[in-house]
Structure 1
Amino acid sequence: MDYPKSVPSVGLVNGRFVDENPLAGTPGSLIPAVWGNSVTQEILGVISAAGITPSEADTGQLIKALQAILGRSSPMRSVVTRLTASKSLAPDELGLVLIDASAGANTVTLPAANAALGIRDVIVRRVDNSGNRLTVRASGSDRIRFHTHLAANGYLFLVLMGGGDWWHLRSDEAGVWWPVGRFDATALGRISFECTRQVIPGGYAVLNGNLLVRSDWPWLWDYAQLSGALVNEASRSGNEGAWTSGDGATTFRIPDIRGEFLRVLDEARGVDIDRSAGSRQMYALESHNHYLPTSSGSANRPGPAIADASWDVTRDVNAAPATGIVGTTYPNPLFFSGPEMVGNIGSFGTETRPRNIAYPARIKLI
């Protein structure tokens, strides 16, 4: 649009409107109807393009329309919202949402992801490091479409775990919030080792066999069912590294690997046969022979000289029976394993283990 240059005698000066000048005797500019209608129509075009119904009584519609239209090309607004309690977010609060759940469990509900909202971004970020549950929920039947390999439609809510945990979400005008980014995108169910026992952000927990409520962790229950390492609660003993189905209706249990050594699952290689994922295996020693030295050693059984030798070394410990101390016959399996054992070899404990370092293990819960 432009000034009404095509309309004669409207009192324009250099193509612009002017006021009346009584001293000079010059009239003010006239505004022709065609131009006034043109300006109005230009503004209404912007308002309508934003999906807003024009209202004569609302003088703020143009700025609202511009915000909506600009939001579609740049959906993240320069807005910071701070929350300390549960709340349903309004569209004008979307931007960076900082949430403090230190006072108790909080639920923050997103606006409806419909055409009226448009394509909008929000970053929800947790600022406290308490253990209180912090839920970010979609409105009504809307969905947050994460872990779609487990559920194509996504889930009704997510949880922020640990101070600094954040998700960046974008609405699609069709009832869905899509994750654009997040603090920790490590795969669900991944086990990691830490050099701290503190709560770490990103969705982690101790692998301690906790009993969880299925409706609180629907994506994790879906994962457990598809894991190939799910047993019923009665079979938990000996399968502590597996998931369990809990009470069979409302709960389930995460694995417990505290204090255990880990071994790679055989998966048909044939080295560690007939093992199921998450099963526990007791300690054992490989079958082997022990030999006692002669008084002077020999080619087959070398050893230091023993004064006043009193050992019969003509048989190994797997032969039975054999003469141990001269004049006494012992069944050889007892040589190193019973009250009649011959000598002490090394330091003994409650298990067979290599030298090791203990680090806390964590599992990704979301």
Structure 2
Amino acid sequence: MEKVGAYTERVTASGEWQGGDVQSGLRATPMKADYFNMLQRELVAVVEGAGIALDKTDDNQLLQAIRRIRGGAAANFGPWAWSESLNGNPGQGHLALNNANPTLATELRISETSADAEDFTQSLSLLRAGDTITFQDQSAVLSYRFRVTNSGVDNGAYRSVPVRHLSGGGGLPVTNAVVSVLLTLAGASDDGLPVGSMIPMPKAGVPTGYLELDGSVQSSATYPDLFAYLGTTYNTGGESAGYFRLPDSRGEFFRGWDHGRGVDAGRALGSAQLDQMQRITGKLSNINGGTAFGDGEGSLKKTGSGVVAHTSSGGGSYPKDLEFDSATSPGARAGSETRGRNLAVMWCIKAWSAPVNQANIDISALAVQVSQLQNMADFAVVYPAGGSKASPANAALNSRYVQANPFPGHSVMCRVEILRNGEWGDPGFGDYTSPGGSRAACGVRATQLGDSIIVQTGISGMTYSSAYSGDPFGSPDTVTTPVPFRVLVWKIKGVIA
């Protein structure tokens, strides 16, 4: 592509269009046919490259083409308010389904104006079969995904969109609750490959959006797009409902489906085939016919006098043993299988076409949340009293231990654990009075004090009956002997005003 300055000298210094001025004699940039033809070819290439036939009555073709080429990206449409109406106009800024059970819904009715008064008329008019619509409430607990099955119907203030349920649940939003609506466009994803495409990887890492073809069982709720493509073709019969099996490419060669050509007839697409070697035949004749035998045919032949023979009762000679072993052929690479030269790769299959979890979580949003959580919390395990992971120190009754904060200057949350019967657990802490009137305090507790971690043990026991303390060990007795201990510490982000 070029600026108009590539076609005429009557342009600005930057090669762009210039207006004319009669008084100064400045001549305007001429309307060059070559320039407009170039623009036309560029635009036509975009539209046709997206698989769209040119239509002079459709002014949205360039936008449609960009959407298709952009492929499986997820667009956050915006917020709509929920309506319980099962038919007709859901109301301005509202959306609704035609069935109170979302899994049975076949139509989504959505106002062409969002809850924040943004006009989505044009965007909704471009919805087409294969697009995916996801809506979820602000808690992200309620979330549903629907596949658009046909173009929507413009009803004026709202659009009816034919859909089928893909995944998700959590009940229905309450009336007027705000839900976020996301659109996943049909077609290829960012790497230009549709779901179900397979790629060979020369290293062990599986790229984002793919799964290794390892024969594993996957959830149809997690990968509905891949399930829609594969179905249960590779299931072996032991899979649970709602699960499907991937093909297993490990150690296998791929062969093009015969599809009627007749070279490898009788094969079903996706079927496996055992190894095989082309038939090899040979023949030695006249073995018992006298003093000599034939020269041989095919893979067996007589070579000089190297045949062991003996005399029969009828006279003459014939071979005593005949052997054939391809491994003894000069330069042969024999083994347990027939194969060609090859390179080991890991085959992967495209599992989803957009940065949206195929169940009900937006992975893009999840990545942001994870990043925020990483900034909010760090984790460490400390072993007070000079202990270590390999050799934790023991905590004794009525003792206080001071450990440096592993995150100096930060607020932390602490949980102390003791080792009992080979398991780490929180012993709890309690102060109680026995039926006889004696007072007891049992357990271990850890908390922050300034820039230190303080561990305090009870005066009467390290643990006491689980029925009283709620500790996880399920023991009816009280432990008074020293026990190994450690403290789990989380750094938190927050300011006490």
Whether TM-score is above 0.5 comes out as: no
**Higher fraction of strand:** 2
TM-score under structure 2 normalisation?
0.31
